[in-house]
């Protein structure tokens, strides 16, 4: 395992890795020796993420573009393979959250969630699998959410598309196991980041943390460590699994209904 760098000589592509959870995953993989394909729509943030890894002594290359169509997904994977020669690990992390009630949810917003969460993961996985099949090995990791198994208000699209992503994880795992490719998912609970603060506000998030058995929200690093587990050489017999990273929230039946209703009331 190359000493203390178990991902040495591995190439990882992490979608949505210019900020947030994806950036933390990319940084952790780089620390473990992997070369990183950093991708995102904002060229400035992509450059910052690449510089962060390079400054720490790692290897990273920038790839700027969206994932809203099969053509864009195919182009991203092709560009990464052209630069590095192969992709050993794919992390489908790109995503966004728009909280709207069921009756008000628009067709455009619904399609947007399907494109970025589900279709992008499907198309990127198809493209990278064709490369992995030539070597009979590979790791694909989806970033899901505990919202996949909960009925929190406002999760009109986010919950269903994450549930679909977990189903896709199992289908892919069954089909690809004989080819030495594992497919797993990480399902975080609430993560303390800018997006969550914008959605709920700091006070509501402090209240939310009190309902979690671990008494805190997850950090980006908590999620990155879980993703790393599925990428490590010792995890090659683990496939089709969903690993919750939620401090016990799902086990305790906790969800965001309370703070969502509070935010809705405050908004009038």
Cβ count near 176 (within 10 Å): 20
**What pLDDT, on the 0 to 100 scale, is given for residue 110?**
92
Residue 213: helix, strand or coil by DSSP? Answer: coil
- Domain ranges (residues) in the chain: 11-192+217-251
Q: Is 80 in contact with 11 (CB distance < 8 Å)?
A: yes
Looking at residue 202, the DSSP 8-state letter turns out to be H
We find that the CATH architecture of domain 11-192+217-251 is 3-Layer(aba) Sandwich (3.40)
The 138-143 sheet, strands edge to edge: 59-64, 35-40, 11-14, 89-92, 138-143, 181-188, 242-245
Q: Is 127 in contact with 79 (CB distance < 8 Å)?
A: no
> Greatest CA span in the chain, whole angstroms?
58
Which regions of the chain are under pLDDT 50?
Answer: 1-2, 257
| 20 vs 39: CA distance, rounded Å | 12
**What pLDDT, on the 0 to 100 scale, is given for residue 111?**
93
| 215 vs 14: CA distance, rounded Å | 29
What are the phi and psi torsion angles at 143 (to 5°)?
-100, 110
| Residue in this structure with the two tokens 């929190």, named with its chain if needed | 152
- Provide DSSP, 125-172: HHHHHHHHHTTT-EEEEEE--GGGG---TTBTTHHHHHHHHHHHHHHH
Beta-carbon contacts of residue 225 (< 8 Å; ≥ 6 apart): 28
pLDDT tens per residue, range 135-144: 999 999 999 9
**What pLDDT, on the 0 to 100 scale, is given for residue 1?**
39
In order of 16, 167, 220, the CA distances from 66 in angstroms are 9, 24, 22
| 116 vs 25: CA distance, rounded Å | 18
Task: Return the structure tokens found at 156.
Answer: 């009109």
Residue 183: helix, strand or coil by DSSP? Answer: strand
Instruction: Let me know if 158 is a catalytic residue.
Output: yes
Q: Give the dihedral sign, CA 140/63/21/250.
A: negative
| 32 vs 10: CA distance, rounded Å | 10
pLDDT tens per residue, range 94-117: 988 888 889 988 999 999 999 999
Residue 130: closest CA among 81, 66, 201, 193 = 81
Q: Is 140 in contact with 182 (CB distance < 8 Å)?
A: yes
Catalytic one among 158, 200, 255, 260?
Answer: 158
């Amino acid at each position: 395992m190359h000493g203390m760098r178990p991902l040495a000589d591995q190439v990882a592509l992490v979608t949505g890795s210019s900020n947030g959870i994806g950036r933390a995953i990319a940084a952790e993989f780089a620390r473990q020796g992997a070369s990183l394909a950093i991708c995102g729509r904002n060229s400035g943030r992509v450059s910052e993420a690449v510089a962060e890894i390079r400054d720490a002594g790692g290897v990273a290359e920038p790839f700027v573009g969206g994932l809203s169509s099969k053509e864009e997904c195919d182009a991203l994977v092709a560009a990464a393979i052209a630069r590095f020669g192969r992709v050993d690990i794919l992390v489908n992390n790109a995503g966004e959250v728009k909280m709207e009630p069921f009756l008000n949810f628009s067709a455009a917003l619904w399609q947007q969630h399907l494109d970025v969460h589900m279709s992008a993961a499907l198309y990127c996985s198809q493209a990278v699998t064709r490369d992995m099949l030539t070597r009979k090995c590979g790791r694909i990791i989806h970033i899901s959410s505990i919202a996949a198994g909960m009925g929190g208000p406002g999760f009109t699209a986010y919950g269903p598309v994450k549930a679909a992503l977990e189903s896709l994880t199992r289908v892919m795992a069954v089909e690809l196991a004989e080819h030495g490719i594992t497919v797993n998912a990480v399902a975080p609970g609430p993560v303390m980041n800018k997006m969550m603060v914008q959605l709920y506000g700091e006070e509501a998030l402090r209240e939310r943390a009190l309902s979690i058995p671990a008494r805190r929200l997850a950090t980006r690093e908590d999620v990155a460590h879980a993703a790393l587990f599925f990428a490590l050489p010792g995890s090659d017999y683990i496939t089709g699994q969903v690993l919750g990273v939620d401090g016990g929230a799902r086990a305790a039946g906790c969800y965001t209904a309370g703070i969502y209703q509070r935010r809705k009331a405050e908004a009038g």
